[in-house]
Amino acid sequence: MEFLLQLSLDGVSLGLLYGISAIGFILIYRSSGLLNFAHGGMIGFGAFLFFALSAWANWPVIIAFAVTLVCSFGLGLILEKWIIRPVFGRENLIHYILITLGLALMLKSVLSFVFEKSYHHLPVFVPHAFSRGWFGFQFTSFHIIALTAGIGVLLLYRFYFAFSPQGISMRAFAENRLTARTLGIPVKRILAMSWAISALLCALTGILLGMMNGPAADSLSAAGLKIFPVIVLGGINSIGGAVIGGIIIGLLETFVGPYASPQLQNLLPYMALVLIIVIKPTGFSGDRDFKKR
Amino acid sequence: MKAFRGDPSLFASSDPGKRQAQLEIRNLTLRFGGITALNKIDFSVQNGELISLIGPNGAGKTSLLNCLSGDSKPQSGKIILNEEEITHLPPHRRAAAGIGRTYQSFELFEEMTVLSNMMLARHIHLKYNFAKAFLFSKSTKAKEAHQIRLVEELIDFLDLQTVRKEPVARLPMGMRKRVDLGRALSLNPRILLLDEPFTGMTLEEKDEMVRFLLELNEIWQQTIILAEHDMSIVMSISKRVVVLDFGIKIAEGSPDFVQKHPQVIKAYLGKP
Amino acid sequence: MRQMKETEKLKPFPPAFHSPGRLKTRYEEGFNRFRTARGRRFMVITVICLFGLLPLVLNDYMLHLFHAVCIYAIVAVGLTIMTGYTGQLSLAHGAFFGIGAYTAASLVTWASLPFFLVIPAAGTVATLFGALFAIPSLRLKPIFLPMATLAGQFIVEYILVHRLSFAGGSKGFVMPKPVLVDLGLETKLSLFYVTAICLLIIIWLSDNLLRSKTGRAFRALRQNERAAAAMGIDAYRHKLFAFAVSSFLAGLAGALFAYAVETIVPTFFNLTLSIEFLAIMIIGGLGSISGAIIGSVAIVFLKEIIGVAGAFSMNSNIHAGAGPAIISLYEFVLGLVIVLFIIFKPEGLASFYRKIKQGFNRWPFS
């Protein structure tokens, strides 16, 4: 029983991390309508930058963390400006998908060239002394970080989009681009912001996932692709659904994982994806018109 | 009298039974979430009739046409074409059943030429299978050429000769409306559904379009359902008018009758 | 003023200049591939020289490259039908290619079937696997197919690497020497000829398909699905057909690949290979068969220049001849090429080819 409880705690923490990066993914999807296959690259970028700053440059953990987030934010801005904006407005799904695939290859190859494919160790910035058992759960520092980060991001996200003018205009833009444009909402800034915020969330996920497993270019870009089962489960368009989807995928991985080989464990989300597409492609909270046009 | 340059006898099948149309709509109801777009609509269309659908914005004209062409699925009611129920047929089977339509917003194939656009509508009439398509033998070529020949008649009729090989994206608004009409006609439909074909046209273009519709209706015996805003056109060309308001049929009859109907006046002018 | 002679006045242009002013007099002439008989002759001679005579004078190394181009071009032609025309994107063609290769290898090893049965069988098996992922997702929005095929890519890759221990597992599958019709040539050369003939037949069939009513329906589906349905085109059936054709061709090419390299390594058929196939389309230009061929030439030579090719010269393993650094470099360049082409030259290299062809047609007036 305790073992099961512990496993579900692991699963929920992992799932919250998936949920955070799914939020970033959906942000881009809703603002520009493209599926970002470079999500894994962005996750890896954050993780490895943090690793380089803290382990190679020996910066204090907190500073390295802050600098990583700022740099990722910048990366998002740059990618949007140089790569996405030229093709935005072509409304060509194939171009949209292929350009992010190309981007994904570039990011992944750079990371695996610089950091090679071996595993590294990331410093943990909540000391192990914090770990303790509550209600039969064994909270390690990883769980604490993942849970606080997940819930924190969700709350921030909620407030940002409900109250800040920028968030409101982003929502309006996602709802109807043409109308938003005629109302004077700055399209370029919205697009740039969605990419920047997405990159920031990716970096956060990357750092936390890296802390859990040790960052490796391959596994992190695979984590980026695991976004697809998560968002399809949640209904592609909905944030709440994505978080629930993330938790389900996380639980699935932790529960079935111990009984399967590690390769099969990595495969589980994709099997789930195929199953979801077969059984219920609208996901939990997806709107119905997603089924066809 | 030969009123058109094209030769419809070549195009329209010589068998008049293939153009026979008898449409009946019974108790049609369509809801989007909480909104009732169509509420228990009942009417019928006789063969060779030109019937108009009018009503204020949001009255449900386009929704009705969407139900007929299969783009929307009504919750209840029946659509019967020539004694066959087509209520639940998917859109692509409706074309074969004999329904051709034009769209209010352009739904043309923008990158294709006018000729290809109209050839696409001959898809259901081009009878050869995938294997023949792979080989593209002489007989296939002959079939394709025959269809081009037929489409050229329509191009002639609609005065589109000068833009035959032009991509649709380069054409002006009025011309596109005509291509849209031509594409629907190429389907050789039993019933032609026209969704606001006169919007955004100049007076001359409207004039031309009216002439096309009248020729179609009177000489080709084409059955037409026309959804339109422009009252002067509707009242002058249609034999029967159906008035919708908030998804309910409030009047049906000859143009004169409808114009004096108190509920119609109320719907349009907002006075009792 | 000198009086012009009657014959001089009516003297026609020399025949070479006739092509620009030639007019069509029958609708059937619109279906001709070549505007003039001269164009057709020119193409036939080029093809004969390229495939018939050139390999006889080339050394082994160049022949391998040629062979690779042919195999890639077959996959790319299939993708042209599906992605370029119908607008569906698949990320699993690398896996289908692998399925074709493994099917061919096992059929040859355990059933010792002849070449001309193995090739279609490999294509069929790949199509069946493809249908598993395509059938549920093709009814949905277009974004579902890339996702479903991505899952398919990983699942197939897993099966090939971990579940086929009887076929060599991750170490690779060694195929016995192919049994071909004896052409009196060295095996490699005759194999090349068989591949080239396959390619030519496939190009001919696909070009026919694309100019028929089915090809027109494909283009219509990409541009406006709603209107296509109103024209009586069954979107699902046509998309499925396009997908089936392209996965069949991927499997077929995979079988030819297995014959060509003799040892197939499962890690070769990874996501990067799938993206490579898509890159061919982008480099060559989406939506034209000439683009698919130009793109295959470009990608094979790109690989060769960077030095990852190993694939076709020695063992099939992409990792065989190259260290991880070179693979990283290749992936980076591949990604960069895709991004740059989409941004700056979305119509691909085929546009240059079209310009040259137009120049020939209009010569001397261009």
Is C229 in Cβ contact with B91 (below 8 Å)? yes
Per-residue confidence (pLDDT) for residue C1, from 0 to 100:
44
What residues contact residue A115 under an 8 Å CB cut-off, 6+ apart? A48, A51, A215, A217
Per-residue confidence (pLDDT) for residue C290, from 0 to 100:
92
User: Residue C239 belongs to a domain with what CATH number?
Assistant: 1.10.3470
Cis peptide before C364 (omega within 30 of 0): yes
User: Distance between CA C270 and CA A107 in Å, rounded?
Assistant: 17
Q: Are residues B216 and B270 in the same domain?
A: yes
Q: Are residues B119 and B159 in the same domain?
A: yes
User: Distance between CA C186 and CA C11 in Å, rounded?
Assistant: 55
A114 three-state secondary structure: helix
Does residue B252 belong to any structural domain of this protein? yes
- Among C151, C162, C331, the residue with its CB nearest the CB of A105 is C331
Classify burial at A82, counting beta carbons within 10 Å of its beta carbon; exposed 0-12, middle 13-18, buried 19 or more. exposed
Does residue C28 belong to any structural domain of this protein? no
**Whether residue A293 has pLDDT greater than 60:** no
Q: Which residue has the higher pLDDT, A172 or B183?
A: B183
Per-residue confidence (pLDDT) for residue B265, from 0 to 100:
86
Number of domains in chain C: 1
- Among A101, A263, A290, the residue with its CB nearest the CB of C158 is A263
Maximal C-alpha separation, chain A:
58
pLDDT digits (tens, 9 = 90+) for A149-164: 888 988 888 888 888 8
User: Residue B94 belongs to a domain with what CATH number?
Assistant: 3.40.50.300
The count of other CB atoms within 10 Å of the CB of residue C260 is 23
Look-up of token digits 């290979």: C273
> With pLDDT > 70 as the criterion, what percentage of chain A qualifies?
88
**Whether residue C160 has pLDDT greater than 80:** yes
Domain boundary among B188, B218, B251: B188
Q: Are B35 and B96 in contact (CB under 8 A)?
A: no
Q: Rounded to 5, what percent of chain C is helix, strand, coil?
A: 75, 0, 25
What confidence category does residue C146 fall into, taking pLDDT thresholds of 50, 70 and 90?
very high
User: Distance between CA B165 and CA A99 in Å, rounded?
Assistant: 33
Does residue C23 belong to any structural domain of this protein? no
Does residue C20 belong to any structural domain of this protein? no
Does residue B4 belong to any structural domain of this protein? no
Per-residue confidence (pLDDT) for residue A198, from 0 to 100:
94
Domain range holding C219? 54-362
Helical pair C271-284 and C324-344, crossing angle rounded to 10 deg: 40
Per-residue confidence (pLDDT) for residue C109, from 0 to 100:
85
Lowest mean pLDDT among C161-175, C184-198, C333-347: C161-175
**Whether residue C184 has pLDDT greater than 60:** no
Q: Which residue has the higher pLDDT, B3 or B144?
A: B144
Q: Are residues B177 and B200 in the same domain?
A: no
Is B92 in Cβ contact with C233 (below 8 Å)? yes
Does residue B6 belong to any structural domain of this protein? no
What confidence category does residue C235 fall into, taking pLDDT thresholds of 50, 70 and 90?
very high
pLDDT digits (tens, 9 = 90+) for A102-160: 999 999 889 888 887 666 666 666 666 566 666 666 777 778 888 888 889 888 888 88
Number of domains in chain B: 2
Does residue C13 belong to any structural domain of this protein? no
Tokens of C296: 């295959």
pLDDT digits (tens, 9 = 90+) for C79-120: 999 999 999 999 999 999 999 999 998 888 888 888 888 999
Domain range holding B215? 21-98+191-272
B140 touches chain C (CB under 8 A): yes
Q: Which residue has the higher pLDDT, C331 or B272?
A: C331
Does residue C40 belong to any structural domain of this protein? no
Q: Are residues B245 and B182 in the same domain?
A: no
B266 touches chain C (CB under 8 A): no
Question: If you average pLDDT over residues A180-205, what whole number do you get?
Answer: 88
Q: Are residues B89 and B35 in the same domain?
A: yes
Q: Are residues B66 and B196 in the same domain?
A: yes
Smallest CA–CA distance from C221 into chain B, residue? B109
Size of interface A-C (CB pairs under 8 A): 134
Contacting residues of A for C129, CB less than 8 Å apart? none
Q: Are residues B176 and B216 in the same domain?
A: no
Q: Per-residue b/e over C283-315, b at no fewer than 16 CB within 10 Å? A: bbbbbbbbbbbbbbbbbbebbbebebbbbbeeb
What confidence category does residue B108 fall into, taking pLDDT thresholds of 50, 70 and 90?
very high
Is C158 in Cβ contact with A264 (below 8 Å)? yes
Q: Are C81 and C286 in contact (CB under 8 A)?
A: no
Per-residue confidence (pLDDT) for residue C315, from 0 to 100:
41
Question: If you average pLDDT over residues A27-48, what whole number do you get?
Answer: 88
**Whether residue B104 has pLDDT greater than 90:** no
Contacting residues of C for B96, CB less than 8 Å apart? 232
User: Distance between CA C152 and CA B89 in Å, rounded?
Assistant: 33
Residue of C139, C212, C218, C236 to mutate, testing the B interface (most B Cβ within 10 Å of its Cβ): C212
Helices (H), chain C: 6-10, 37-47, 54-57, 60-79, 93-106, 115-137, 144-162, 187-211, 213-223, 225-230, 235-261, 271-284, 289-306, 324-344, 350-362
Q: Are residues B138 and B90 in the same domain?
A: no
pLDDT digits (tens, 9 = 90+) for B38-75: 989 998 999 989 999 998 888 889 999 999 999 889 99
Q: Are residues B125 and B244 in the same domain?
A: no
Q: Are residues B272 and B211 in the same domain?
A: yes
Per-residue confidence (pLDDT) for residue B116, from 0 to 100:
93
Does residue B197 belong to any structural domain of this protein? yes
User: Distance between CA A90 and CA B111 in Å, rounded?
Assistant: 14
Q: Are A52 and A279 in contact (CB under 8 A)?
A: no
Q: Are B130 and B136 in contact (CB under 8 A)?
A: no
Domain boundary among B173, B188, B203: B188
Question: If you average pLDDT over residues B222-249, what whole number do you get?
Answer: 90
Sign of torsion over alpha carbons A147, A148, A153, A159: positive
Q: Which residue has the higher pLDDT, B241 or A287?
A: B241
Lowest mean pLDDT among B120-129, C66-75, C171-180: C171-180
What amino acid is encoded at B104 in this protein? Q
Does residue C12 belong to any structural domain of this protein? no
Domain boundary among B135, B168, B188: B188
Question: If you average pLDDT over residues A9-16, what whole number do you get?
Answer: 88
Q: Which residues pair with B28 in a beta bridge?
A: B41
Q: Which residue has the higher pLDDT, B19 or A288?
A: B19
Q: Are B197 and B184 in contact (CB under 8 A)?
A: no
**Whether residue A18 has pLDDT greater than 80:** yes
Per-residue confidence (pLDDT) for residue A10, from 0 to 100:
85
Helices (H), A140-284: 141-163, 165-175, 177-182, 187-213, 217-225, 227-234, 239-256, 262-279
Does residue B103 belong to any structural domain of this protein? no
Question: If you average pLDDT over residues C252-266, what whole number do you get?
Answer: 88
- Among C31, C227, C231, the residue with its CB nearest the CB of B141 is C31
Rounded to the nearest integer, the mean pLDDT of chain C is 84
Per-residue confidence (pLDDT) for residue C42, from 0 to 100:
86
Sign of torsion over alpha carbons B56, B60, B63, B64: negative
User: Distance between CA A47 and CA A24 in Å, rounded?
Assistant: 16
Residue of C127, C213, C239, C243 to mutate, testing the B interface (most B Cβ within 10 Å of its Cβ): C213
Q: Are residues B140 and B158 in the same domain?
A: yes
> With pLDDT > 70 as the criterion, what percentage of chain B qualifies?
93
Q: Which residues pair with B48 in a beta bridge?
A: none
Best mean pLDDT range from B157-166, B224-233, C71-80, C181-190: C71-80
Question: If you average pLDDT over residues C112-132, what whole number do you get?
Answer: 92
Rounded to the nearest integer, the mean pLDDT of chain B is 87
Smallest CA–CA distance from B107 into chain C, residue? C227
Contacting residues of A for C295, CB less than 8 Å apart? none
Question: If you average pLDDT over residues A205-216, what whole number do you get?
Answer: 80
- Give whole-number Cα distances, C109 to A107, C38, C103, C179, C280, in Å: 41, 47, 10, 11, 32
Does residue B8 belong to any structural domain of this protein? no
